[in-house]
Amino acid sequence: MEIDALPNGNSPAATSTPSPATTPAGSTPVSKAGQLSESLKLEHQFLRVPFEHYKKTIRANHRVVEKEMSSVISGVSQAADGDLSQDDAVSHLNSLVSRLQGLKRKLEEGNLAEHLQAQRCKARIDHLESVDLENVAEWNNTRVKRILVDYMLRMSYYETAIKLAQSSNIQDLVDIDVFQEAKKVIDALRNKEVAPALAWCADNKSKLKRSKSKFEFQLRLQEFIELVRDGNSMRAITYTRKYLAPWGATHLKELQRVFATLAFRSNTECLQYKALFEPKQWDFLMDQFKQEFCRIYGMTLEPLLNIYMQAGLSALKTPFCYEDDCPKEDPLSQESFRKLASPLPFSKQHHSKLVCYITKEIMDTENPPLVLPNGYVYSTKALEEMASKNNGNITCPRSGLVCDYSEVVKAFIS
C-alpha cells in the first residue's frame, strides 16, 4: 500500500479524511493519511528485530552445514591418504554417509525455523500495511499494547509481557522470544556467572567486533577479579595469559588496573580497588549486556514507551496544564503525568488555538468566538444553542452573568 500525503482535506477529492479542519493561516496542512504515513516511519525496530533474528538463524544454520561438510570432505581425504583395512574404510565411509544424513535432517529443522521467522517478518509487514483510516483506532490500540510489551520485556517483567501479548493475540508482533534469549544471560549475570554471556559473545562475535565492543573484555576482567577474590592467584595469572592478554593491545590501561588487584585482597580498603570488588560491578555488566544486546538487534536503548511519552508530554505541556481547572481530558491534569513531565520543555505555539469552555470544540472561522459583556469568551455554537433553549438568554457558566444573545460581540482571532 502506497500512502502518499493527501492534500489538506478541504479539497473535494479527499473524501476519506474524516476531519477536514480549517487550519489557521500559515501552519502546515497535515492530513490524517499523511500523519499515518509519518507514524509508520517510526516503526524501524518493529521490522528490524525479527529480520536480524532471521539473518542470525540463517547464518548459524549455514555455519553448521559448512562445518559438517568440511569434516566429511576431510574424512574422505583421511581415508584416501591413510592405510585402512577394507572393513575399516567401508565403516568409515558409512559413518560419513550417516553424518550427511544427520546433516540433512538438521538442515530441514533449520529450514523450518527460518521459515517460521520469515513468516513472522511477513506478518509484521502485513500489519503495517493493514492500517487505514477506518481501523485506525483499533490499530492504535494495538500499537499501545506493543509499546507496553516492549517496556515490560526491557524491565524484565516477563510474565506481564507474556500475559499482555496473549490476551490481545499479538504474539507475532512482539519480540518475547528474542528477549528470553537475553533473559538467560541476564539471570546468569545476576547469579554471578559469566558463561552464558561469554557464549553469547561467541555467537555474535563478528557484530561485536564491528562495533568495537569491549563487552567480552569486561566479562573476562570480572572473571579475573572473581579468581582474585577467591585467592586463586596462580589461576588468575594463567587466566590472564590465556584470555586477557589478547585485549592488551587495545585496552592496556584498563587491563593493568584490574591486573593490579592481584596485589590487593578482596577486602582492601584502597578506594580505587575496593570499587572493583563491589557487587555493583555485576549490575554494571548487566547494563552493558542490555546495551550491546539492543544495539545488535537494532533496538533503541531506551524503552519505546519512554521515547513516545517524552515526545507526547512535551508536545502537550503548557503552563495551563498545571492549573487547577485543567480539563480532565488532558493527561497532564493528573499528578503522576505532571511529575513525569516536569523536566521536559514546554510546547510552543505559533498560532492561537482556542477551545470553547462549554463544547470543548475549537473556535475558528467556522465556529467563531463570541465575547460576553464581561469579557468571557465562548463559541458561537455553544451560545446559539444556549440562547435557543433559554429564550435568547445567555448565562456564563463561569461567572454566572446573565445577558441577552444580542449583547455578545464577535472576536476576530487569526
Partner 1 sequence: MELSTVRDAFDRVAKKQKVSSSKSQEVIDQVGHEIEQTVAKMQSTQDSSTPVDQKSILAALKSKLNTISPQNQLEGSQKELNVNLNKCSKVLEKVFNPDISKAYRNVDFDIHILNQIIANHFYREGLFDAADCLIKEAGEPEAISLKCQFVEMHQIIEAVRSRNLEPALNWVSANREKLTQVGCNLELKLHTLCFVDILQKKSRSEALNYARINLAPFASVHMYEVQKLMGCLLWAGKLDKSPYSDITDITHWEKLVDELIQQFCSFMGQSSSSALGVAIAAGVEGLPTLLKLANVMAVKKQEWQAMKQLPVPVDLGKEFQFHSIFVCPVSRDQSNDDNPPMLLPCGHVLCNQSIVKMSRKGTRTFKCPYCPQDASVSECRQLYL
The strand pair at 409-410 and 369-371 is best described as antiparallel
Q: Is 406 in the site for partner 1 (CB under 8 A)?
A: no
Q: Which amino acid is present at 66?
A: E
Q: Closest approach of Cβ 409 to partner 1, in Å?
A: 7
113 belongs to the binding site for partner 1 (CB under 8 A):
no
User: Which residue number, 16 or 352, has a Cβ lying nearer to partner 1?
Assistant: 352
User: Which of residues 48 and 214 has its CB atom nearest to partner 1 in the complex?
Assistant: 48
The least distance separating partner 1 from the CB of residue 319, rounded to whole angstroms, comes to: 6
Q: Which of 7, 113, 114, 142 binds partner 1 (CB under 8 A)?
A: 114
Q: Which of 238, 315, 390, 404 binds partner 1 (CB under 8 A)?
A: 315
Q: Give the per-residue contact string, 74-93, with partner 1 (x = CB under 8 A; - = no).
A: --xx-xx--x--x--xx--x
**CA 288 – CA 294 distance, rounded (Å):** 10
Q: State whether residue 410 is helix, strand or coil.
A: strand
Q: How far is CA 379 from CA 135, 361, 414, in A?
A: 31, 8, 15
Identify residues 17-56 at the interface with partner 1 (CB under 8 A). Answer: 19, 21, 27-28, 30, 32, 35, 37-45, 47-48, 51, 55
Between 164 and 258, name the residue whose CB sits nearer to partner 1: 164
Alpha-carbon span 82 to 93, nearest angstrom: 13
User: Is 330 a residue that touches partner 1 (CB under 8 A)?
Assistant: yes
Question: What contacts 24+ positions apart, CB below 8 Å, involve 168-177?
Answer: 168/142, 170/142, 170/145, 170/146, 172/120, 172/123, 172/124, 173/46, 173/123, 173/124, 173/127, 173/142, 173/146, 174/146, 174/149, 174/150, 175/49, 175/50, 175/53, 175/150, 175/297, 176/149
Q: Which three cell numbers stand for residue 189?
A: 549475570
Q: Could you tell me which stretch among 142-150, 202-210, 252-260, 274-282 binds partner 1 (CB under 8 A)?
A: 142-150
| Cβ contact 351:28 at 8 Å | no
Site for partner 1 in 162-181 (CB under 8 A): 163-164, 167
Neighbours of 205 (CB within 10 A): 11
Q: Does 391 bind partner 1 (CB under 8 A)?
A: no
Q: Is 384 in contact with 390 (CB distance < 8 Å)? A: no
Nearer to partner 1, 14 or 371 (CB): 371
- Given a contact cutoff of 8 angstroms between Cβ atoms, the answer to whether 130 and 142 are in contact is no
Q: Please give the DSSP secondary-structure letter assigned to residue 274.
A: H
d(CA 378, CA 395): 11
Choose the binding region for partner 1 from 237-245, 262-270, 279-287, 322-330 (rule: CB under 8 A): 322-330
Residue 393: which H helix or E strand, with range? Answer: strand 393-395
Task: Name which position in 139, 157, 247, 282 contacts partner 1 (CB under 8 A).
Answer: 157
Among 11, 16, 60, 69, binds partner 1 (CB under 8 A): 69
Which span (178-186, 202-210, 311-319, 400-408) binds partner 1, by CB under 8 A?
311-319
Q: Of residues 16, 62, 238, 275, which one binds partner 1 by CB under 8 A?
A: 62
The CA distance from 333 to 339, in Å, is 11
Nearest distance from residue 277's CB to partner 1, in Å? 27
By beta-carbon proximity to partner 1, the closer residue of 36 and 260 is: 36
Among residues 40 and 237, whose Cβ is nearest to partner 1? 40
By the rule CB under 8 A, 309 interacts with partner 1: yes
Among 15, 336, 391, 406, contact with partner 1 (rule: CB under 8 A): 336
